Amino acid sequence: MQSVHESVHEATMREQFAATVTELLERDPRTALVLADIGVAQFPEAARAHPDRVVNVGIREQLLIGVAGGLALTGMRPIAHTFASFLIERPFEQLKLDLVHQGVGAVLVSAAGSYDWPAGGRTHMSPGDVALLDTLPGWQVHVPGHPAEADLLLRHAVAADDSLQYVRLSAHQNAEPRPVAPGRFLTVRQGSRTAGVVLAVGPMLDAVLEATETLDVTVLYAATVRPFDAAGLRAALGDRADVVLVEPYLAGTSERAAHLALDGLPHRVLGLGVPVAEHRHYGSIPEHLAAYGLDAAGLHARIAERLW
Amino acid sequence: MTSEATRTLGGGYTDLPRLISLMTGDEKHSPAANSTLDALWVLYDRVLDVHPGNVDVPDRDRFLLSKGHGPMAYYAVLAAKGFFPVELLHSFGAYDSPLGHHPDRLLVPGAEIGSGSLGHGLPLAVGTALGLRAQGLGRPAVWVLIGDAEFDEGSNHEAVAFAGAVGLERLHALVIDNSSATHGWSGGIAARFAGEGWSTATVDGRDHEQLYRAFTAPHPGRPHVVVARTEPKHG
């Protein structure tokens, strides 16, 4: 059995999630994992060791969130997991009422995101998940770009008292992890005083770096988007406040947060991401990223047009 | 456990109509107008181990009002049992009142959940029972009250099937059946629970002794539902 640290370079984010949460279940008796069939095969040892704290409700996503809320009402720290479509969109009223309105916390961990299984089609795509959570108070949203970042952010999310935490795992990832701190944007490339700023979120970083290699821009990296690090964005500005957001979910999701961060400054914000229109094609992740204009070539064209 | 003869600071069963009238302004309001009243009273008076002195104690019994519509009977019972002052009932629905037309657990002393949108209490109760069991708290009972029309919501059926399958013994549902479900429940509501392995009892929702016996019936290894039938809502 590999340790977490030995395995991070090999693992996918979902495999890292299994390793990290198995360890947390072992260590912290407050934690409980709630599943709805998806992901069950990743937790055989934890389910054997902690049958009362690893609960599979079957294909019942309203119950998935209701059970998480009930566990939290008794003082436990629930971690609920399934694909984003079935974790955020399908039981959305349960998020609003069984968690937020009851005044209890939980850690929601999704997989599949916006485009992770393009051959699965629209039913398994959830580009609107972060925008939906923006309609509710209190959620912190983490979008790791690498399994090692997922490990760090999951530990942070579970340990964060009784807060509401969303960790958005993806099969799309960057080649290397970055030294992220929860809630803080990281400067990855420093442009000149006259440069604009590109904020790359989670798995978008590698494509953004490639797209901007020949451009004078400052590149910020966000593995946590809520809270939105307004101070970090303002600190990255040079002589002008021109900002491009590149997000692996619905285009423009963080535009409002960016406008608030830049309040009082003359500024321009361009939000790039997954288009709202249904994209009725199957295929692969790279094909979808190219179609959305989120590959390096597409990003280069749109960023260059905007910032120069 | 206390008998009905016991009187708290707030009052007893015979005081409930007066307490309800503080909210409705209707002096002639009878207990029959509130389908949940008798079942709630018997639970809080003779069954539940929850009172103002143990509301923060982990091994208290839990009562979750899922059917948050028409909470006057619930507020009246909580006031009668001393969870909050009777005077508060006058403020029902007012801007600064903790007592809304649907209960909010962060505002109402003694309320375990906020409710109003139907179909949320039973799943929350399942999670509560699981949470208590996971912490080794095997004694407390978890009760949830739902309505027969509320049972239309599919989330209830997710919870009934799961709780029956895993034999969640400390879970108890109280269904107030005043025949208000638009399409009814052919064969009766209890059959839906029995089919998923629950222990069931169907009783007259106005008969305190029948309610008490159903509430306290043993049900080893299985969750338990009491269907309390009252006069139809309309007619």
Give yes or no for A102 touching B (CB within 8 A). yes
Would the CB atoms of A97 and B131 count as touching at under 8 Å?
no
Q: Are A143 and A248 in contact (CB under 8 A)?
A: yes
Asked, as a colleague might, if the bond just before A227 is cis with ω within 30 of 0, I would say: yes
The whole-angstrom separation of Cα B209 and Cα B203 is 10
Give yes or no for A51 touching B (CB within 8 A). no
User: How many CA atoms lie within 13 Å of B20's alpha carbon, on the beta-carbon side?
Assistant: 24
Q: Which residues of A touch B162 (CB under 8 A)?
A: 57-58, 60, 63
Q: pLDDT per position in chain A (308 positions), as tens? A: 344 444 444 689 999 999 999 999 999 999 999 999 999 999 999 999 999 999 999 999 999 999 999 999 999 999 999 999 999 999 999 999 999 999 999 999 999 999 999 999 999 999 999 999 999 999 999 999 999 999 999 999 999 999 999 999 999 999 999 999 999 999 999 999 999 999 999 999 999 999 999 999 999 999 999 999 999 999 999 999 999 999 999 999 999 999 999 999 999 999 999 999 999 999 999 999 999 999 999 999 999 998 86
The whole-angstrom separation of Cα A162 and Cα A105 is 4
Closest by Cβ to A93, choosing from B58, B117, B124:
B117
Report residue A228 CA to chain centroid gap: 13
Percent of residues in chain A assigned helix, strand, coil, to nearest 5: 40, 20, 40
Which pTM value belongs to this model? 0.95
Q: Which residues of A touch B119 (CB under 8 A)?
A: 62
Q: Which of B128, B150, B157, B169 to mutate to test the interface with A (most CBs of A within 10 A)?
A: B128
Give yes or no for A267 touching B (CB within 8 A). no
Torsion angles phi and psi, residue B121, rounded to 5: -70, -40
User: What structural domains does chain B harbor?
Assistant: 38-68+107-229 (3.40.50.970)
Q: What ipTM is given for this predicted complex?
A: 0.95
Give yes or no for A75 touching B (CB within 8 A). yes
Give yes or no for A281 touching B (CB within 8 A). no
User: What structural domains does chain A harbor?
Assistant: 4-168 (3.40.50.970), 186-307 (3.40.50.920)
Give yes or no for B117 touching A (CB within 8 A). yes
Q: Are A204 and A253 in contact (CB under 8 A)?
A: no
| Alpha-carbon torsion angle B40, B43, B46, B50, nearest 10 | -110
Instruction: Look at the alpha carbons of A253, A96, A15, A77 in this order and tell me if their dihedral is positive or negative.
Output: positive
- How is A180-213 classified by DSSP, letter by letter? --TT--EEEE---TT-EEEEEEGGGHHHHHHHTT
Number of cross-chain residue pairs from A and B with Cβ atoms under 8 Å apart: 100
Would the CB atoms of B134 and A97 count as touching at under 8 Å?
no
Residues in chain B: 235
Torsion angles phi and psi, residue B94, rounded to 5: -80, 160
